[in-house]
């Protein structure tokens, strides 16, 4: 398989697709406004937390990460599902592209889109935070905990991207696929988790391994930053609340990677067996 050619083809499709520009433009605008407001509040001392590196990574890699998931999944579903609606997937195969090559192209597309949005939030957040002053904090600009959060965030984006790939491949209609994606992630999985909790003694433990629960847990800073966990535990103790119970990091990473592989494998099997 000619991977460079597949990357080039997917990049051209992505760049020339109008919703890509619209989605990325809206995403950038929200990030600039959000991080800009954090910077403004910081320099006017409205917010006691200085929005400056390295401590600003706590906010950059926290409050707005959920938006990345939303925009990435919307864009991927539009890109992939519309290839079936517009018959471009069928035409690609007729023109000599093997089914395996077409599907590999979509896997590469998930990685490309995820990388673009990942780098966008890191670069914009880092640039705006560099305007601040946090000279009282010594140490590197990017700490070990920040790198762990970034890696977990990247894995979470790949997981959500593989879920979007699966739904788009199953449904093959952009509108219906978007509806099913949001119905599942916002409502159905929560109902399933509640049902497991009621049905089994350890149902809540089983529910913690549901896909979006795991992928969302990956993006929580307390999972990777001992200082953030200690601060949260102290606040919980002061309020008389239980200390947060976190999943083991290796188990969390393995389970999230397992769901990512499973989504991709199921999408491939379904794509191979269905006519274009």
Exposure of 59 in the CB half-sphere (CA atoms within 13 A)? 24
235 token code pair = 């606040």
Single out the residue of 212, 102, 123 nearest to residue 161, CA to CA.
Answer: 212
Q: What is the pLDDT of residue 107?
A: 94
pLDDT in tens, the chain (276 residues): 678 888 888 898 888 888 899 999 999 999 999 999 988 888 777 666 678 888 889 889 887 788 889 999 999 999 999 888 888 877 777 667 788 888 999 999 999 999 999 999 999 999 998 887 665 566 688 889 999 999 999 999 999 999 999 999 999 999 999 999 999 998 988 888 888 878 777 777 888 899 999 999 999 999 998 888 888 888 877 777 877 778 899 999 999 999 999 999 999 999 988 776
Burial 37-48 (b: 16+ CB within 10 A, else e): ebbeebeeeeee
What is the helix (H) or strand (E) element at residue 49, kind and residue range?
none
pTM of the model: 0.92
Q: Count the neighbouring beta carbons within 10 Å of the beta carbon of residue 133.
A: 12
The per-residue pLDDT for 1 is 63
Q: Which long-range contacts (CB under 8 A, 24 or more apart) does 31-38 make?
A: 31/64, 31/67, 31/120, 31/121, 31/124, 31/125, 32/124, 32/128, 34/63, 34/64, 35/59, 35/60, 35/64, 35/124, 35/125, 35/128, 35/129, 36/128, 38/128
Among residues 71, 162, 174, the alpha carbon closest in space to that of 109 is found at: 162
Give the relative orientation of helices 99-129 and 3-16 as an angle to the nearest 10 degrees: 60
What distance in Å separates the CA atoms of residue 68 and residue 150, rounded to the nearest whole number?
A: 13
Cα distance between residue 243 and residue 269, in whole Å: 43
- Cα-Cα-Cα-Cα dihedral of 25, 8, 4, 70, to 10°? 30
Nearest Cα to Cα of residue 1 among 101, 144, 132: 101
């Amino acid at each position: 398989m000619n991977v460079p050619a597949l990357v080039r083809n997917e990049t051209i499709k992505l760049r020339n697709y109008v919703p890509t520009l619209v989605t990325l433009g809206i995403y950038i605008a929200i990030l600039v406004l959000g991080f800009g407001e954090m910077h403004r509040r910081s320099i006017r001392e409205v917010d006691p937390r200085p929005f400056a590196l390295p401590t600003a990574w706590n906010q950059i890699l926290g409050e707005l990460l959920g938006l990345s998931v939303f925009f990435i999944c919307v864009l991927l579903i539009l890109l992939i599902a519309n290839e079936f609606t517009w018959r471009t997937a069928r035409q690609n195969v007729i023109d000599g592209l093997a089914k395996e090559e077409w599907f590999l192209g979509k896997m590469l597309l998930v990685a490309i889109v995820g990388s673009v949005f990942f780098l966008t939030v890191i670069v914009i957040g880092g640039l705006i935070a560099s305007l601040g002053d946090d000279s009282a904090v010594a140490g590197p600009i990017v700490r070990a905990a920040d790198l762990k959060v970034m890696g977990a965030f990247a894995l979470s984006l790949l997981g959500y991207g593989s879920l979007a790939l699966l739904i788009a491949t199953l449904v093959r209609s952009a509108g219906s696929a978007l509806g099913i994606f949001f119905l599942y992630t916002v409502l159905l999985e929560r109902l399933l988790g509640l049902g497991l909790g009621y049905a089994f003694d350890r149902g809540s433990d089983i529910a913690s391994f549901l896909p979006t629960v795991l992928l969302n847990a990956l993006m929580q800073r307390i999972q990777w930053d001992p200082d953030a966990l200690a601060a949260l535990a102290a606040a919980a103790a002061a309020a008389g609340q239980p200390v947060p119970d976190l999943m083991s990091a290796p188990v969390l990473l393995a389970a999230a990677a397992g769901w990512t592989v499973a989504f991709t494998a199921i999408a491939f099997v379904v794509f191979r067996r269905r006519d274009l």
